[in-house]
């Protein structure tokens, strides 16, 4: 339950600074087990909680700033609740990644897409789990999340 509250806070605070949900296929989102928790003209937030992990994804549309991905990562870092401690940041071809450890012992990963197949569209994924993931595991996870997000867009 704590994970869900932290995820919600994170995304609400992080999403306020940006205008995202025209091109979202809600049927595909629902089929993948996600719920739409917030939507407006320029953004959508979807989330999914299982027994072992929780995922929240914010999708932003019509963002034209050159450094949008970096800005989204900075916003997520600034809005991280105090119960989370930043452990590491890294970068892959497709994502900026921030890794946090919660006071509850869980790990929270923030993945920000550098570029999706859809122009001026970005996604921020917040993933909470008890697993301590690193390196290629994070790369694969980022790819998997962003491939999924792209499959939700039309």
Q: What is the spatial distance between Cα 113 and Cα 143, in angstroms, rounded to a whole number?
A: 9
Q: What average pLDDT score do residues 42-62 get? A: 87
Q: What average pLDDT score do residues 5-13 get? A: 59
Q: What is the spatial distance between Cα 26 and Cα 34, in angstroms, rounded to a whole number?
A: 9
CA distances from 98 to 2, 94, 126, 134 (A): 20, 14, 9, 11
Q: What average pLDDT score do residues 36-51 get? A: 86
Determine how β-strand 53-60 pairs with β-strand 35-39.
unpaired
């Amino acid at each position: 339950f704590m994970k869900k509250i932290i995820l919600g806070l994170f995304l609400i605070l992080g999403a306020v600074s940006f205008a995202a949900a025209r091109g979202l296929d809600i049927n595909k989102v629902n089929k993948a087990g996600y719920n739409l928790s917030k939507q407006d003209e320029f953004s959508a937030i979807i989330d999914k909680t299982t027994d072992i992990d929780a995922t929240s994804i914010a999708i932003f549309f019509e963002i034209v700033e050159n450094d949008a991905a970096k800005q989204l990562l900075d916003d997520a870092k600034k809005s991280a609740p105090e119960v989370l401690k930043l452990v590491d940041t890294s970068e892959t071809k497709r994502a900026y990644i921030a890794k946090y450890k919660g006071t509850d012992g869980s790990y929270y990963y923030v993945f920000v897409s550098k570029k999706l197949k859809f122009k001026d569209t970005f996604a921020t994924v917040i993933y909470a789990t008890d697993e301590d993931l690193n390196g290629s595991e994070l790369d694969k996870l980022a790819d998997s999340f962003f491939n999924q997000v792209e499959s939700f867009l039309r």
